[in-house]
Amino acid sequence: MLDHGIEATTDGLESRLTAQGAQRGSSRTPIPGLPRRIHLLGAGGAGVSGAARVLIDHGHVLTGHDRSASEHVELLRRMGARIEISSQESARIPADAELVIRSAAIPTESGAVAEARERGVPVLKYSEALGRITPIGRTLAIAGTHGKTTTSWMVHHALRGLSAYESGRARPSPGAIVGGVCRVIGSNAVTEDDGGWFAVEACEYDRSFLNLTPQGAIVTNVEADHLDYYGDFEAIKSAFARFVDRVPLNGLLVIGHDVTRTVEQNARCQVWRIARELKIDLLGERNGTFAFRLNGPNFVVPQVSLQVPGQFNVENAACAIALVVGLAAREWNIDPNVAAVAAARGLERYQGSQRRFEPWGALGGVNIVHDYAHHPTEVRVTLEAARRVYPGRPLHVVFQPHQHSRTARFLDEFADALRMADRVVVADVYGARAHIDGEHQAGAPELVERLLAAGVQAALGGRPAETSRVLCSQLPMDSAVLVLGAGDIVTIKDDLFAELALCRAVRRGSLR
């Protein structure tokens, strides 16, 4: 942990800042350009529910609909939103709704969207609404094929560290809307104080991030993905190039070391690149987490010690600190070296997000971790991190492919990434956006076939509940288990622990 003479303390900061949100709704006015009464379609979605929290804190009156109950839905209900749970076909628009915000999962052909338009009620996609919710001139947008969620929360924590730095006057606390729940804060959104900076996850799918007007941005990396939408890699690079062009001349763009020059050259603002303006020196590793030194333009952080595993997170953290120092510290006229250490201190408190190398617990000597990884690069670096966190232990993987089209396009790459596992159980493909998956499709059988051909012990798992039984049937009691995927594989948790307990009991009985 850093200790360089800064007088500020962040002890209790999370609880203090998180509690502020509950006190704001009554004293704040609605966000300019948005009506007071808003109806949400897909209210429990990762993005929509976060935006809803901020809208409620700003005094908007929310209603909504979702097909199933969730923690996000229950939280919104506790905050005062009226959320209906029923089939998508039965969703209706309240008579007093002035605006509808729909999740990307709600098609434009849905009955509720058609009803709103027939009645003249405006309908915005979540990404369009996000562009109106985030504050102009104070939004920091985090984009990239991988690492957006983690880096977004790192930016937010770095901003918190800077806002907590004592210099004789209070500074506004930052806000955030992120696609994953921060485990420390327990939320996917935080409402900023008036004048506070705002970190937002900027998704490239459907060119959603082009609805944002960020003052500063991070692009962690650019790889081929979402080809069901983009078609080819050139279209993806073009979209990212348009995104960075949205940062104004007086803003700042921070990019990963391998971001294509095509993207960087389209920026109008100052650009800091890892391994060029930003130099990283690794200082050590402990149980898969890293410490590093960061040298930037006019600032140095002697040591940053991360609480989240994976060497890839070193670069994510460096980008986050640099963006905060380059913009927020400049506006607040804080010495860059002092600001960098304060930002790093705040970032060090970040302990990860749900579904991002999230420890589920241990039973009978088996440790279980879940991660959202659903692209070959994400799968590979997650397995690398697991090997460092659990050295010398058998590594068994449950993998749920996400979309038939992505599985088909990256079949060989997935097989290569999963070769680091001792055994892989492949669940049925999660078919999100199946209506646009196209002709190129592959499923779990094809991936298992490729894994077996590569000499990897692999098996079909089927649905999540059956997958847990297949996994546990050949699971040594000193193993580490990775559950990977962005779909409903997260629902395997209870079944997996139940199967582990049953196997443990059977094995104990057989020894008596």
Residue 490: per-residue pLDDT? 85
Q: Which has the higher per-residue pLDDT, 431 or 437? A: 431
Please tell me the pTM assigned to this model.
0.81
184-211 per-position pLDDT tens digit: 888 899 999 888 999 999 988 778 889 9
Rounded Cα distance between 283 and 306, Å, is: 11
Query: Could you tell me if 339 and 382 lie in one domain?
Result: no
Q: What is the pLDDT of residue 177?
A: 95
The CB density around residue 121, as the number of other CB atoms within 10 Å, is 17
CATH code for position 420: 3.90.190.20
155 shares a domain with 86: no
Q: The domain containing residue 47 runs over which residues?
A: 31-126
Is the pLDDT confidence value at 217 over 90?
Answer: yes
- The residue from 348, 377, 404 where one domain ends is 348
- Overall domain count for the chain: 3
The contacts of residue 8 (CB under 8 Å, 6+ apart) are 161, 164, 165, 166, 342, 345
Higher pLDDT, 507 or 368: 368
Query: Which two three-digit tokens encode residue 217?
Result: 């941005």
Residue 155 lies in a domain: yes
How do residues 292-346 score in pLDDT, each as one tens digit? 999 999 999 999 999 998 888 999 999 999 999 999 888 888 899 999 999 999 9
Q: Are 312 and 150 in contact (CB under 8 A)?
A: no
Q: Which of 101, 126, 151 is the last residue of a domain?
A: 126
pLDDT at 27: 53
Q: Evaluate whether 95 touches 105 at the Cβ level (below 8 Å).
A: no
Q: Can you give the pLDDT at residue 330?
A: 85
DSSP code per residue over 53-100: HHHHHTT-EEEEEESS--HHHHHHHHTT-EEEES-GGG----TT--EE
Write the Ramachandran bin of 364: left for phi over 0, alpha for psi from -120 to 50, otherwise beta: left
Q: What is the pLDDT of residue 320?
A: 97
410-427 pLDDT, tens digit each = 888 899 899 989 999 999
Report the chain's mean pLDDT, rounded to a whole number.
Answer: 85
Q: Mean pLDDT across the stretch 145-165? A: 91
Kindly indicate the confidence band of residue 255, based on its pLDDT and cuts at 50, 70 and 90. Answer: very high
Q: Do 390 and 483 lie in a common domain? A: yes
